[in-house]
Structure 1
Amino acid sequence: MKISVIIPTYNREKLISKTIESVLQQTYKADEIIIIDDGSIDNTKDIVNIYTSKHHNIKYIYQENKGVSNARNHGILLVQNSWICFLDSDDIWEKEKLEKQVNFHTKNKHILFSHTDELWIFNNKIIQQKKHQLKPSGFCFEQNIPNTLIGASTVMIHKKVFKDVGYFDETLIACEDYDLWLRILYKYELGLIDEKLIRKIAGHQNQLSFTTKLMDTYRINTLLKFKNTEYKRLINEMINKKCTILIKGAIKHNNKEIEEYYTKLKMLSAN
């Protein structure tokens, strides 16, 4: 199996080297590494160019800032191979990540989408995952409705899945992975390598989850896509729950517009 790795990045001069090194040190080598720089204004380009000068399989693409979804989609359109992995530029792979995932797909040829467990590190401390955050496998659309249980940096996916369900939704400022994973899980079985093969580094300032407000608004936009499916009851229950959270926040901050919008949406989801 030939693997293409897509690394979207934006102003990660302090982190990008460790991320790239973790790919180069894999026991199973990636055929190509595509780094999509989404408009960095720091020294990211200079750091990446050190690697492109030494490794012919690393490609560096600079684009104007269009968001992580566009950067990932850009990478998908450029890859030369059928199997794709994503790696955020603040995450690190363990050395056997690719090898173990390739072995899994070699033995389970019918599964076109897999992920691994991950180690969460916040401010240099390991965060223990709770029971409801444990990684799922199989046909697990329902388990991922409340929040995605799949980390973008953990996945390996066959390119034809994108041709079937579409790409990352570029209209979403956040939760773009939640949106795509649900669209995939609605149709495809998910494989799991139940080992912590990713180190997910959290707590730095330009992380989307820290800089994007009202994350549930984007999750609701995704859930609305499934209102007319056999999961309608569960979808409506989750929309109702997330609307309640947003309404409470709007009342607290005296934002009548948001309060009225999600109150109406909550009423519709109850029907």
Structure 2
Amino acid sequence: MTPSVTIIIPTYNRAHMLPQAIEAALGQSHAQTTVMVVDDGSQDETGAILSRYADHPRFVGVSLAGNVGTAQAKNVGIALSTTDAITFHDSDDLPHRDKVMRQARVLGNETIGAHPSLNWRLSGREPETPIQVGGVLTHHELILPDGERVEIRRSLSLVDDFFPNLQMAAGVPGDWTHVNSGLFHRSVFDRLGGFLDCIEEDREFRNRLIMAGEVLWVIPEILLTKIESPDGLTQAGATDYDSPRRVADRQRVWDAVGRWFATRKVDPVPIDLSGVRIRSCTRPDLCNRQSLARVTALRDRVA
């Protein structure tokens, strides 16, 4: 059965780009798709943008009372979503209209099995048994601020933190398979938790999936365009790839890989939203009511 999907779009002060991201998400060909924008305490016109879509039957606008960071904004979306599967699009992402449908059909394929030619016991599975794919990734393209277009097709980068010795002829540094926009079965979050509160949250989540033996499927086609702008996290001086903050976060990720090699244990990251407050939610009926009540402790309102 093809799973229902929530597209979670965390955003902060990107009102100038947000409408095209919302339209692209709502325009996905997969009919069972809900779009949830989590406004991470924006100070611009993001609230006005969300109000435009308040009556759309498949749109949820969640406004947080303060800025908590991308990882926690994603965790809010995970907690509030009610669908079978979840994907994450940035506010500067333009997905192909069939991206989610293609991913969902793989995720819902019940005929995928553990072929006996591979050593499935290393990941805790028996040969010739059914497999639930945990995440479906795609290739993507990147439009840089200077207009350069880069095609990202290197699946080897899924394990670059584990085997850097295999990267020597793999291409330009930063040429990676985009984990953030993968479609993930909800059971993955039940087992492994949500995102670690850091700016390397995608890398850390990717590594946790691999260490836990989750099954990852890569569709070898470009189904997403990412448009990087100077105010994005990977371009801004405080959070770019050479910034002290990102270097420190990456070291945390590498330390976790080192612990896994030594112990083969994977620690889940519980979703802790005790410090998060929601200012408003346009469609509580499309949200997990229990999570909504727990997260908000509403000092303000839920529309």
Q: State the TM-score, normalizing by the size of structure 1.
A: 0.75
Question: Helix, strand or coil: the match of 1:228?
Answer: helix
Q: Cα distance 1:141–1:100, how it changes in 2: closer, same or farther (>3 A)?
A: closer
Moved more, 223-232 or 41-50: 223-232
State the match for 2:275 in structure 1: none
Q: Cα distance 1:184–1:50, how it changes in 2: closer, same or farther (>3 A)?
A: same
Once the 2 structures are TM-superposed, how far is the Cα of residue 100 of structure 1 from its aligned partner?
1.1
**Matching residue within 36, 39, 42 for 2:41:** 39
Once the 2 structures are TM-superposed, how far is the Cα of residue 163 of structure 1 from its aligned partner?
1.9
- Whether the 8 Å contact between 1:105 and 1:112 is mirrored in structure 2 is yes
- Whether the 8 Å contact between 2:6 and 2:36 is mirrored in structure 1 is yes
Distance 1:17 1:29 in 2: 20
State the match for 2:206 in structure 1: 181
Q: Cα distance 1:10–1:169, how it changes in 2: closer, same or farther (>3 A)?
A: same
**Matching residue within 134, 143, 154 for 1:112:** 134
State the match for 1:202 in structure 2: 228
Structure with the bigger RCO (C-alpha within 8 Å, sep 6+) is: 2
Please state if 1:61 is matched with 2:28. Answer: no
Distance 2:227 2:102 in 1: 22
Distance 1:6 1:209 in 2: 22
State the match for 2:191 in structure 1: 164
State the match for 1:262 in structure 2: none
The residue type equivalent to 2:155 in the other structure is K
Question: Helix, strand or coil: the match of 1:227?
Answer: helix
Distance 1:148 1:76 in 2: 27
Structure with the larger helix share: 1
Please state if 1:5 is matched with 2:7. Answer: yes
Distance 1:207 1:230 in 2: 30
- Whether the 8 Å contact between 2:6 and 2:83 is mirrored in structure 1 is yes
Deviations 1:45-101 (A, max 9, x none): 101211123x12211111110000110000000001120011111111111101111
Please state if 1:218 is matched with 2:222. Answer: no
Please state if 1:191 is matched with 2:222. Answer: no
Distance 2:151 2:262 in 1: 27
State the match for 2:272 in structure 1: none
State the match for 2:171 in structure 1: none
Once the 2 structures are TM-superposed, how far is the Cα of residue 25 of structure 1 from its aligned partner?
1.3
Distance 1:190 1:231 in 2: 23
State the match for 2:159 in structure 1: 142
The residue type equivalent to 2:194 in the other structure is Y
CA RMSD of the aligned region, Å?
A: 2.3
Distance 1:113 1:186 in 2: 14
Please state if 1:121 is matched with 2:140. Answer: no
Q: Cα distance 1:124–1:30, how it changes in 2: closer, same or farther (>3 A)?
A: farther
Structure 2, gaps ≥5 residues long: 113-130, 165-173, 264-303
Please state if 1:23 is matched with 2:22. Answer: no
Question: Helix, strand or coil: the match of 1:45?
Answer: helix
Structure 1, gaps ≥5 residues long: 233-271
The residue type equivalent to 1:218 in the other structure is D
**Matching residue within 64, 75, 78 for 1:76:** 78
Q: Cα distance 1:73–1:119, how it changes in 2: closer, same or farther (>3 A)?
A: same
The residue type equivalent to 2:217 in the other structure is G
Query: Which stretches of structure 1, 4 residues or more, deviate above 6 A after TM superposition?
Result: none
Distance 2:249 2:36 in 1: 27
The residue type equivalent to 1:204 in the other structure is P
Between the aligned residues of both structures, percent identity stands at 24
The number of aligned residues is 224
